[in-house]
Chains A and B, each alone.
Chain A
Amino acid sequence: MAQIQKTASAGWLRKESQREALAGYLFILPTFIGYTALVIGPILAAIGYSLTSYDILSPPEFVGLQNYRDLLTDPRLHKVYLNTIYFTVVAVSLNVGIGLLLAVLINRNMPAFLKYIFRTAYFFPVLVALTYCSIIWQYLYQKDTGIINYYLGLLHVEPIAWLSSPAWVMPSIIAMDVWKNTGFAMLVFLAGLQGISQDYYEAASLDVANRGQLFRYITLPLITPTLFFNMIIYMIGALQVFDSIVVLTQGGPGDASRSLVMYIYENAFQLFHMGYASATAITLFIVIMLLTLVQFRVGQSWVHYE
């Protein structure tokens, strides 16, 4: 009997496809364990905490859906959601749009060293720590002593309260974000552009297509997968914007630049309203998931894979 079992077991392992499957499972096992423990687990824990009143030192008290009911009547939450949506729409559009423009400009025929210089220059801010960038921009943006207002003053423009005016604070933060991050989009677009076969352009040139037509009918459709990738990555990042605003304005003036993640952090780790913070985080999780699903769904109609 034991001999039969041994033979059967060895036979199972001898099958090529099954051995490959086993190897595959073993390869993904560390990731699976990490993902379950560090992503799925905290999400489920957050769902649990969102049903409690919890200050991290006292035992959680079950409050049912009270935290979710409070979300609906919290005027600050509405404000920070609007800020986050505003930031996401504008920052993603500008990061992706300017990144694409820079990539197209750099991808033209020019000496290799110039390409190298431009590519490095535009990508450089991505490599610099965000906190350093934010502190430098904070000095640049200073109303009374900042260098931007100094040069505007030479043009007889009144000093602008870049970071202390509710009207200017979000555009100022977005400007820094685009300067800092658009280089990444540019690099990804460059990779996408360099993957387009020159045969398409040669064929279109034979049909006397101009530059605009080449971009509209060849370049753009063929980089839609790259465009889609950039939009998803930047959207998810923008919805979670945190550190740059913390350094630049700490969410101020008032709540004028406070993002949703900052609000979650404030509730969780400054006020110790862990239950309410968890409920807020769950809403953000759902929003990101829904928007990503919508993007994938809508993307089927405009993303072209060769």
Chain B
Amino acid sequence: MERTEIIEKLTAVFHEVFNDNNIVLSDEMTAKDVENWDSLTHMLMITKVEETFGIKFKLKELNKLKMVGDLINTIETKLQ
């Protein structure tokens, strides 16, 4: 899957989970930049990402996700 396609699908997940269709993803974006991004919505988002891309994260991988860019990279790696 192309990176642009990943970002497109991920954007849809973010819009749904965080209830905000104006979110524009960027590599540097963190939980601090999204109003509703806390433990609960993070969990919902991760579950949705796993469903959407048909992948499964390890806790160690989630641990390293500091920015949205890390998430995109991890999805990309796992899809290869």
Q: Do A and B bind each other?
A: no
Binding site for B on A (CB under 8 A): none
